[in-house]
Amino acid sequence: MTAGSAACPLCQEAGGELVWQGADHRVILADEPRHPGFCRVIWGAHVREMSDLAPADAARLFATVLRVEGVLREQLAPDKVNLASLGNVVPHLHWHVIPRWTDDSHFPDPVWAVARREVPPRAIDRTVLLAALRRALGGARGGEGAAPI
Ligand SMILES: [Zn+2]
């Protein structure tokens, strides 16, 4: 890991409920009560940008992002999925994969904006979602053997 990792929360902890751990990246289900199903795909090493990765690594990371998006669509039928790689606050490479509904608290704004309305969070079955994500992401190491998307 590069310098700065000691102060980086994504170097120190999972960053949410660990869904899947691969050889060099992981998937977590975030604790975001207003946005159920919000997942993050987090590169293991402390790098800042997608272009810091070798092309094959970047492709593998993004394949996981797409797998997660596919499961969220299949399981939750959102109106939209938001994919975002910001890292402005925590400059450790990660992708947000966020199911969105037109009646969620922030729609059509990004989830980081000021809420437009107060609504009860959509009820989802976390257990079913976790099982589906783990099934789609395959074995414990690196995603090898997972079904192609
Ligand atoms: Zn880090």
Query: How many angstroms is it from 48 CA to the middle of ligand 1?
Result: 8
pLDDT band (50, 70, 90) for residue 4: low
Query: How many angstroms is it from 101 CA to the middle of ligand 1?
Result: 31
Query: How many angstroms is it from 134 CA to the middle of ligand 1?
Result: 24
Give the residue, 125 or 142, on which the prediction is more confident: 125
For residue 19, give the nearest of 129, 124, 93, 95 by alpha carbon: 129
Give the residue, 45 or 149, on which the prediction is more confident: 45
Query: How many angstroms is it from 43 CA to the middle of ligand 1?
Result: 9
Query: How many angstroms is it from 102 CA to the middle of ligand 1?
Result: 33
Superfamily name with CATH number, domain 5-137? HIT-like (3.30.428.10)
Which range among 2-11, 56-65, 97-106 shows the weakest confidence by mean pLDDT? 2-11
Would you state the pLDDT for residue 139? 65
Tokens 């700065």 map to which residue?
Answer: 4
Residue 10 CA to residue 16 CA, distance in Å, equals: 10
Cβ neighbours of residue 28 closer than 8 Å, sequence gap 6 or more: 14, 15, 16, 17, 18, 19, 39, 40, 42
Average pLDDT over residues 19-31: 97
Give the residue, 2 or 60, on which the prediction is more confident: 60
Where do the structural domains in the chain lie, given as residue ranges?
5-137
Which range among 1-5, 45-49, 93-97, 122-126 shows the weakest confidence by mean pLDDT? 1-5
> pLDDT per residue over 95-112, tens digit each?
999 999 999 999 999 999
- Between the alpha carbon of residue 41 and those of residues 62, 105, 116, 120, 123, the distances in Å are 9, 23, 27, 26, 22
| Residue 41, both tokens | 């795909």
